[in-house]
Structure 1
């Protein structure tokens, strides 16, 4: 069994980054769709928590509002630090809501920040995809070269 055939698994890394790029594109589509086609509501901020752990800051926000048909919606949304600063001081926030979509709720005050975060994430994943694609290509060629070298069989001739 040749150990060089495991180098083909390096293609999983660019595949993961491709998945991330596609995921960010779907999230961007969901945010844009809800923003453009959703119904506007005013949501009450029930709970707001911002956690600061070393170099990592994130949190969540719990929103509650009632739709036009009388249904009460309460959702907990994750909240990056970039968006938390804009929502920290307010108790009522305008939202767009569209049921049964990828992104059901969009916070109106942070829509531009949310879109720029999605673009930033997609661009970083795209650059990582390009870099790891070339690394995967080099590993693939190296593995092919080593596997072809090991396939050569020595033929011994007896000369008497």
Structure 2
């Protein structure tokens, strides 16, 4: 029982990893937006997929940075982010190949940040809840084990 209770601690660990990932993406976005090269990218294709409980899509971009080589990149986007580029043929971007998030569409930057902040808030509350559950489960398992040891003696 005690070993099973320790498995509960995988949930808080999961949320810590997910929060770290969101912070990493946010940092990369901010770095690219602040330090990246301003460019105009041609939108080659936009596709929105509507599947029962989720709607997302992608946008294919083509642009030429100062290095001179043509870059083609596919960005996966939620429908909220993709809506801003559905009717456009070009989009303003910031490009920083050394960043964790090398391309940031300037039109969706603020919305993307708000989505990340919302994700962080939800994951923070979830982390708090599962830590309480894990502490309670561990406490209960130890107490149950002590009771069983006392009865056996």
Q: TM-score range by the shorter chain?
A: over 0.9
For residues 9-158 of structure 1, what are the structure 2 equivalents within 5 Å?
9-152=7-150, 154=152
Change (3 A) 1:119 1:154: closer
Which digits, 9 at most, give the CA deviation of each residue in 1:25-59, with x for residues without a partner?
11111100100000001100111100011231100
Structure 2 portions without partners, runs of 5+: none
Partner Cα distance (1:153, 1:55) in 2: 51
Change (3 A) 1:154 1:94: closer
Alpha-carbon offset, residue 5 of structure 1: 2.4
TM-score normalized by structure 2?
A: 0.95
Provide the aligned length of Structure 1 versus Structure 2: 153
Which digits, 9 at most, give the CA deviation of each residue in 1:100-150, with x for residues without a partner?
210000001111111001101111100100001100010010011112222
Partner Cα distance (1:18, 1:52) in 2: 30
Partner Cα distance (1:24, 1:98) in 2: 19
Q: Bigger radius of gyration, 1 or 2?
A: 1
Say if 2:2 and 2:138, in contact at 8 Å, map to a contact too: no
TM-score normalized by structure 1?
A: 0.91
In angstroms, what is the RMSD of aligned CA positions?
1.2
Change (3 A) 1:147 1:92: same
Change (3 A) 1:154 1:107: closer
Structure 1 portions without partners, runs of 5+: 156-160
Alpha-carbon offset, residue 154 of structure 1: 4.1
SS of aligned partner of 2:135:
helix
